[in-house]
Structure 1
Amino acid sequence: MKKIYLSLATLLLLTGCINDKPKQKLDGEELLTQKCASCHNLDMPPKNYDNEIAPSLMAVTFHLKDLITSSNPSEHKSKIISFVQDYVVNPTAEKSICDKASLDSYGLMPSQKGKVTDDEVEAMVEYMYEYYDNKKLLEQLAEERRLKNMPPHERVMEQKGCLTCHGMEKDKVVAPSFKMISDKYEKKDREMLIQSIKDGTKGKWENRKLPMPSFKKISDKDVEGVVDWILR
């Protein structure tokens, strides 16, 4: 009898452990890409509005944050999650937070009943709430303006991390400075330098053991701009 009780206790303990397993954390960004990107633009800010069939998720999120109010950030997010969980499976014009012009333009979203779970909606809204942030948007726009106003070669070198290995004037152990490259090469070497950046290179500088990686994804215009600046 003791063995039976012991077996039952063990079974209950194991069952309890299994049931107490923490829920798997869902990836809100990935879910948005899988379930929403076919209709909604996910960029912040949207890069274009071509063939738009639903408002961008940035606009949706900002609208939700404005119209569903709470002084407590945690409660605010929870209220938005609850609203979206209900709305996506039972959308109606009365529930919609869109103005009449938007509803006339986009129409009412189709019900997602059976296509998305409450847990998935929660993960997506959690991501939207944190990612689509007005302060982040303003900072991003300011950074884009800063990069746009930079000389093209400086923008490319900053974005691609060129200065991590190359100094402007002073030599670095990893790679020669841009001044050294400029002093060594002439305008007749332009095409060779362009290909060296695109394909990578090794062995052109004494005591430089690390090869330069290829940068095939940089546009021809950007590579040519950097080389022309070096050879100026």
Structure 2
Amino acid sequence: MRYVAAMIAVWLLTGCFDQGKKIKYDGETLIEEKCAVCHNLKMPPSTYEDEKAPPMMAVVFHLKDFMKITMDDEKYSKFIPFVQDYVIHPSAKKSYCDKESLKTYGVMPSQKGNVTEDELEAIASYMYDFYDQQKYLKQMQAKADFDALPKGEQIARKNGCFNCHSFEKKGVGPSFSMIAKRDAKEIKDTIANGSHGKWEGFHVMMPAFKSHLTQEHILTLQQWIQKDAPKKQETRPVKNTIETPWKVKK
């Protein structure tokens, strides 16, 4: 009997402590679940003809500007409280939107019952941190740098070629300078079908890219390898490059 009473006491006390714990919400997950139906979440945003609401990046930049936020402490004193209040109790009077935007999009409907105050705290915190103007400017500069590259190099970087190849030094695979000496037809065939048995001294087989690249892309990549790649110096990768980690076979 004493044992049962003790277990009940432990259970009750544990329950009390658990109730006092604050749930940690994931702002990124919540913003996708609660906001993406109407707001474009990309940075920079894509453009759509029938937008239901302004892009989230524009919303955040606009709020920070009109609230005159200059210090990160104001994230908690100004930004988060405003979002928590406005999403539940929206009105044209509270809105920081200009008249033209309000005319285009209207006042957002109240999300009371769809999202809690704690969830909004996590969402607003993520909004503030992710949609950062300096981060945006760096992304735009990186994109401009990438767009300025020859088309062949863009294809090479997007598809992870620099994981195994470099301009002059051999590594996991032969350098582009070495590859450039091969016949154009052989280069295209290797890109499309893989490198099995084609390079002595290199034990890692390059996978086939015919399912990832069009014939036009393969031609562009081959021409870049033979004409432009040998002339380039070893440089650091462009910042917004996505080096896809293709699995290679030994």
TM-score > 0.5, shorter chain as reference: yes
Give CA-to-partner distance per residue, 1:205-224, whole Å, 9 cap, x none.
Answer: 22322222344445554432
User: How far off its partner does 1:77 sit?
Assistant: 3.5
Query: Which of the pair has the greater relative contact order for Cα pairs under 8 Å at 6+ separation?
Result: 2
Map of 1:71-220 to 2, 5 A cutoff?
72-172=71-171, 174-183=172-181, 185-189=182-186, 191-196=188-193, 200-215=194-209, 216-218=211-213, 220=215
Give CA-to-partner distance per residue, 1:58-110, whole Å, 9 cap, x none.
Answer: 01001111223455423333422211111112111111111111111111111
Q: Tell me how far apart the structure 2 counterparts of residues 156 and 228 of structure 1 sit (CA, whole Å).
A: 12
The alignment-based identity, stated in percent, is 44
Aligned residue identity for 1:178: F
RMSD between superposed Cα atoms in Å:
2.6
Aligned residue identity for 1:89: I
Aligned residue identity for 2:192: Q
* Stretch of structure 1 that moved more, 47-56 or 10-19: 10-19
Contact 1:193 1:227 in 2 (8 A): no
Q: Tell me how far apart the structure 2 counterparts of residues 20 and 218 of structure 1 sit (CA, whole Å).
A: 55
Aligned pairs, number = 226
* Stretch of structure 1 that moved more, 74-83 or 112-121: 74-83
If each structure's helix is expressed as a fraction of its own residues, which one has the higher value? 1
Aligned residue identity for 1:213: P
Cα–Cα, structure 1 residues 201 and 34, in superposed 2: closer, same or farther, change >3 Å? farther
Map of 1:5-24 to 2, 5 A cutoff?
6-7=6-7, 9-23=9-23
**Residue segments in structure 1 that go unaligned for 5+ positions in a row:** none
Contact 2:60 2:127 in 1 (8 A): yes
Cα–Cα, structure 1 residues 69 and 39, in superposed 2: closer, same or farther, change >3 Å? same
Aligned residue identity for 1:54: A
Aligned residue identity for 1:227: Q
Cross-structure match for 1:225: 220
Aligned residue identity for 1:46: P
Give the TM-score taking structure 1 as reference length.
0.84
**Residue segments in structure 2 that go unaligned for 5+ positions in a row:** 228-250
* Stretch of structure 1 that moved more, 121-130 or 26-35: 26-35
Cα–Cα, structure 1 residues 64 and 21, in superposed 2: closer, same or farther, change >3 Å? same
Contact 2:38 2:51 in 1 (8 A): yes
| SS of the residue 1:73 aligns to | coil
Give the TM-score taking structure 2 as reference length.
0.78
Contact 1:41 1:55 in 2 (8 A): yes
Cα–Cα, structure 1 residues 2 and 169, in superposed 2: closer, same or farther, change >3 Å? closer
Q: Tell me how far apart the structure 2 counterparts of residues 55 and 22 of structure 1 sit (CA, whole Å).
A: 32
